[in-house]
Structure 1
Amino acid sequence: MRSAFRLPDWSLRTRLVVLLVALSVVGLAVADFASYRALHNYLFDRVDQQLETAVAPVTTRLLHEAGDETNQTFGPMPSEGVAIQGGGEAGGPTGGPPSGDLPGSAFGELRDAEGEVVGTTGSTFFGEEVPTPAIPTDLEPTSPMAIKPITVGEQGGGSEEFRAAAVRVGEGISIVAVPLGDTNATLHQLTLIEIVVSAVILIALGLLAWWLVGVGLRPLRRMGEVAGQIAAGDLSRRVEPDNERTEVGRLGRSLNAMLVQIEKAFAERAAGERRLRRFLADASHELRTPLASIRGYSELYRIGAAREPVEVERAMSRIEAESTRMGGLVDDLLTLARVDEVREPEREPLDLRELLEDARDDARAAAPGRAITLSPTGPVAIEADGDALRRVFANLLRNAIVHTPEGTPIELSLETTEAWATVGVRDHGPGLPPGDPNAVFERFWRDSDSRGRDDGGAGLGLAIVAALVSAHGGRVDAENPAGGGALFTVQLPLRSPSGVPGSS
């Protein structure tokens, strides 16, 4: 089941910038909140200290204003001051009202044991009356030395706030409050400053991040452009940067390595397609020639043009010869097709020297006028397909016989190294044509396009040699050695004591 959540179809640049700005918003919000709370706690602690300082003078003034009418509730007023429960003494030097102004625009309220308000006091701040706080009736009194301030609002629903605390005085309660106007104004100003500064930081950070991410993604955009050109068919293009210092550089190096392999694969495929087209054209051409001959002689026989026994015999012999030639060509094509299947040849223990002796004897029988020699050597043990190697050496000897003048000697040699056996087939004819000597192993290759097919064959013999040797894990090379002629060298792995060809 696919998830219902789906990211917007934004570009990578947009996503990175949005993510960075979102994280910055969270970070700035946490920082702003932490700074706000730190200043809030600091300022409120200062106000609470002011409130604690104002408790004694405000209570003393309230008691003084209450006078003798309340002595039964709050106790007598001593001549040296008024005793406050839990505190010391306060008041003027003769028991009168306290000297000096009340601190911090403080507000005071005196309640009796029944909770009735018996007196209030306040002060002005720069000539203005301080708003009256809304004191709750159930405010719990404490000792003046351990007050418990609370935040209350303004009577009448105003916007002013106060920090208030209640202390016990005899059987009554004294309530003192200090306004929070300056404190709240400071915190409000801090909030505005944090919002404005955070907004400016986010805008600047977003613009800077947009530019930096664009610069960082510029190589990726160039890679995309190059990839489009490659997709259009230009496999020679390469991406930049290509280095190990950055992630994008390492990506470029990997892409370039992949492009090299892709270009090589396409080149090999194109070359293979060209070889296949040439192979099919040559095969069709080679098959068309004997088929045309067979059709022509058959037509002559059918219409009665060849009535004499000699003519009939000649037509039948040509039909037989062309059929044999076409059968050999088909056999060669089938051999190459089987080799192209890359199947492991059927191996058996063989003596390579015996195979060469058999090939030499067969060539002598086919060309009695040739001096075909084999250098003396001892047995050479290999594991191979005997029929395949016999065909290899037969094709090489036939190639030497066909392409050299009558009577030209042919030499076979056999040498061994630690893990390889090397067979040489050398003639003393005109040698290989100029150019790449190993081109003779291509299929349907001929020395000259004008040479007759009766002499040159179909051009598959040496291609079969190369394919069969390669299937045995060996290689074959051609060259023009010093002294003239042509030299074909076949390398085959020896049979090791463990029975695995080529292992030492």
Structure 2
Amino acid sequence: MRHPARWRSPRGWPLRTRIVAIIITLLTILGLAVGTTAYVFLHDRLYNEVDAKLDRTSDPFRGKSTLPGGFGPSREPDRSAPFGGQEPGSITVYFVDGAFDAGGKVNTVQDANGNPDTEYEALSDKDIAELKAVAVGDKTTVSLDGEGSFRATATVEPDGAIRVTALSLSTVNSTLLRVALVTGGAVLIAIGVAGWAGAFIVRRTLAPLDRVAATATRVSELKLDRGEVKLAQRVPESDTDPRTEVGQVGAALNQMLDHVGNALEARHASEMQVRQFVADASHELRTPLAAIRGYAELSRRSRAPISDEISHVLNRVESEAKRMTLLVEDLLLLARLDAGRPLAHDPVDLTMLVVDTVSDAHAAGPRHYWQLDLPEEPVIVYGDGARLHQVLANLLANARTHTPEGTAVTVAVTTMPNAAVIHVIDSGPGIPAELQPHIFERFARGDSSRSRAAGSTGLGLSIVHAVVTAHRGKVSVQSEPGRTVFSVLLPYDAPQPAVPPAEQQFAQPAQLAR
């Protein structure tokens, strides 16, 4: 995966990368500053030495009254050949009245007797023009074609001629180039070694911070929303030294985990009290509700005449008693699932289960359009047939209750390599997006946009979720206006002997729902 925005700005770099980058940047600036200073100092020193040598070469007879060869001040000097002591490779040219007179590049030769001697090598017109431009008394650097760089100066001869003397800078430039290369290489090597060493040191230094981050990551992966949670993860004591910045972070994280752990324990204790209360209350209410229904039914069957008003009241009492009985049964079922009661694990034919539940739903809602989409072969899963029947019945009742008459409801069964999937699809108005995350929570209610011809306890879909989860399956919903799909995935293999613990099933009551 590419992260162009992250690497475009240093603000997105990891801390160790930024520290190493800062170290390398500082060392680079320091190396450039030191190298440049050394180069400039050496450059000035070498050029000063060349200039001093140039002074000596341009005026070799300073303080003498005669010229070499016996020429005195009144005699004309011989400019056809280099005078004694001129350095081979240097250049001497003479200009008389602004025109080139004699001179050239000094070369070493042998005379007729085999002794070393010097002579001038002719220069090109372009090189002579470059040398002619040198001002008297100035020292300047000139570049001659095919000859390289020279340091040149011009002096006035006693006879009025202008002599330009130039010394080659090849040795100086070669020395400066070698120094620059050596310095640059040394700086690069130093930066590389410092970067590697800095990365190693920074990694070792920030290792406690990595351990703190790893502890926080492990805690973040725990499921803290329900059930009993043991926050056993803590930052090692060696990383909680308050004298260091990382130790302060580690100590603060441990303190926070202690507070969170205490809060989770208090929440779990309260949660278990609520579950126990629901289970006890549901169990205790079954007997009085059964008695109320029995007395109401007995009163209606009495031979003694009763008024129409009393008969209506008794009918309503019996109806509400039945409704409360259903609510209590749902609560008791959820309490039993929370307690981890064993489920049956018998072969269940999902195709026949779908046919039976759809037939019941058609009888309860004849004005809906019910459809089946079943495979040709039976689909067998292992589980509790009665509970799975209740799952499908709740989903169909949900579709019938919350969609208008004439809505098409399709129940399809598909197969996967390791599981079977039941889809309940309706063409109703859909579920609002903000309610979908809470749709399987207990007592979830909402004034939905779907029509509601009958009331709802808010427990039907929570029972679906609890039973499917007990079968190690999954239930999900996808909804938009005109299409709502509830999908129930059930593995083929037999479920565990008991459902998961209560803390994996219980969800806090919600204020909003379908």
TM range, smaller chain: 0.3 to 0.5
- The structure that has the greater radius of gyration is 1
TM-score by length of 2: 0.46
TM-score by length of 1: 0.46
